Structure 1
Amino acid sequence: MGGISIVENVSLDGVVQAPGSPDEDTRGGFAHGGWFAPYPDAVLGEVMGRGMAGEGAMLFGRRTYESMQAAWAGTTDNPFGPLLDARQKYVATRNPGWSPTWANTTVLAGDAATTVADLKAAVDVDLTVLGSPDLLATLFPAGLVDDAWLAVAPVVLGSGRRLFPDGAHLRWELVEAVPTTTGVVLGHYRAAR
């Protein structure tokens, strides 16, 4: 059985919505898109890269998958495009008729708590989730997340989709903490069972 790790950019107040660009996700009138742009540095790249470095597969919610495909599929001028193109990708969606177009993609249609639990039990590789806050809101209460790689930025946004759903009660053990040159604290956490 594989494990599930998440890799997330998160604000001090827990927001994960639209870290990459202003128009990434404006649901709910979110006007702070691109908030993580000032923070990447070499330390962040090295440490967060470890969270994606294994030989495992990727797991996405459909919205994040489509955003990642638009940004990275077929690109060769960076290390992420070829890596993501080659990796097996699983996409959780409620729409059984949805068809992906990115190579090496398998659709998990239906209730994500069930389809992801079945996948986790069936594969011998680790699964890495990038973004996908709606998917995580289902996976956390189901106890399916094993590790978290969080890049906590020194910014409070005051609104937006948060990493942990209301009512979540989860315990984590700190594995590693690394400060960056831009004030981000990188934390690797393991779920305490």
Structure 2
Amino acid sequence: MRKLIICTFLTLDGVMQAPGGPDEDVHSGFEHGGWQKPVTDEEVGAAIAGWYEPSDAMLLGRKTYEIFASYWPTADPGNPFTDRMNSMHKYVASRTLTSLGWQNSTLLGGDVADAVRELKASEGGSINVVGSGDLAQTLMRHSLVDEYRLTIHPVIIGTGKRLFADGAIPTALEPVSVSTTKSGTVLAIYRPNGKPGYGSY
């Protein structure tokens, strides 16, 4: 069974929208695009590179796929991520796309939860879900996520799409590893561990 991993950059208040640039995603009037660059460091990049090592595929929603497909095929070949992003297999969940131009891309058909279950049951390495906030919500609702790999950056921006939005399924998390970089970014890996417990003091 292949492992499905959500890999996401978050602000301290849980926003995942448009970390990479001002015009990346302005949905709902989002004005904070590019928030990650001033609050990241080399340790974050090294951690992300390590998180991709056991993975041989990405699962993307339409918006994230279109952003990546417009950038990575012509990105700087000196960037160590360029070859990795282009060579990895991309599975795309979309109800509107009919064809995919980026190399090694496959459009998932039918019900997305069923398609992802089938994908997880296939041969191969782990699958990283990158960005793709709406898709992530669907995967979490259907208990398809095996692991969260999160970079939680020291900035609060107050608005935007959140990974754990209102209506998220209550879930206990088992910490696999948690560390902090020199810039104050938390590098956290968690696995779902059933339902949360409750008590009182």
Unaligned runs of 5+ in 2: 195-201
* Whole-Å separation in 2 of the counterparts to 1:175 and 1:98: 39
* Whole-Å separation in 2 of the counterparts to 1:126 and 1:42: 24
Q: Which amino acid aligns with 1:49?
A: A
| 1:18 matched to 2:35 | no
- Identity over aligned pairs, percent: 42
How far apart are residue 123 of structure 1 and its match? Answer: 3.4
How far apart are residue 85 of structure 1 and its match? Answer: 1.2
Alignment-derived partner of residue 173 in structure 1: 174
Deviations 1:124-163 (A, max 9, x none): 3211111110100100011111111111011111110000
Where 1:182 maps in the other structure, the secondary structure is coil
* Whole-Å separation in 1 of the counterparts to 2:139 and 2:66: 20
Alignment-derived partner of residue 118 in structure 2: 118
1:78/1:94 CA distance change after superposition, 3 Å: same
| 1:93 matched to 2:98 | no
How far apart are residue 103 of structure 1 and its match? Answer: 0.8
Alignment-derived partner of residue 42 in structure 1: 42
Give the superposed CA RMSD. Answer: 1.4
Alignment-derived partner of residue 164 in structure 2: 164
Work out whether residues 55 and 127 of structure 2, in 8 Å CA contact, stay in contact via their aligned partners in 1.
no
* Whole-Å separation in 2 of the counterparts to 1:123 and 1:30: 39
How far apart are residue 105 of structure 1 and its match? Answer: 0.7
Work out whether residues 13 and 157 of structure 1, in 8 Å CA contact, stay in contact via their aligned partners in 2.
yes
* Whole-Å separation in 2 of the counterparts to 1:187 and 1:106: 30
Deviations 1:136-193 (A, max 9, x none): 0100011111111111011111110000232211221111111111111110111214
Alignment-derived partner of residue 151 in structure 1: 151
Where 1:138 maps in the other structure, the secondary structure is helix
Q: Which amino acid aligns with 2:17?
A: Q
Q: Which amino acid aligns with 1:72?
A: W
* Deviation >4 Å, runs of 4+: none
* Whole-Å separation in 2 of the counterparts to 1:109 and 1:135: 14
Work out whether residues 20 and 36 of structure 1, in 8 Å CA contact, stay in contact via their aligned partners in 2.
yes
Alignment-derived partner of residue 199 in structure 2: none
Where 1:128 maps in the other structure, the secondary structure is strand
* Whole-Å separation in 1 of the counterparts to 2:55 and 2:174: 24
* Whole-Å separation in 2 of the counterparts to 1:101 and 1:31: 29
Q: Which amino acid aligns with 1:101?
A: G
* Whole-Å separation in 1 of the counterparts to 2:144 and 2:55: 19
* Whole-Å separation in 2 of the counterparts to 1:165 and 1:123: 32
Q: How many residues align?
A: 192
* Whole-Å separation in 2 of the counterparts to 1:84 and 1:48: 12
How far apart are residue 55 of structure 1 and its match? Answer: 4.2
Alignment-derived partner of residue 73 in structure 2: 73
Work out whether residues 94 and 107 of structure 2, in 8 Å CA contact, stay in contact via their aligned partners in 1.
yes
* Whole-Å separation in 1 of the counterparts to 2:111 and 2:13: 28
Alignment-derived partner of residue 129 in structure 1: 129
Where 1:122 maps in the other structure, the secondary structure is coil
How far apart are residue 31 of structure 1 and its match? Answer: 0.6
- Structure-1-length-normalised TM-score: 0.94
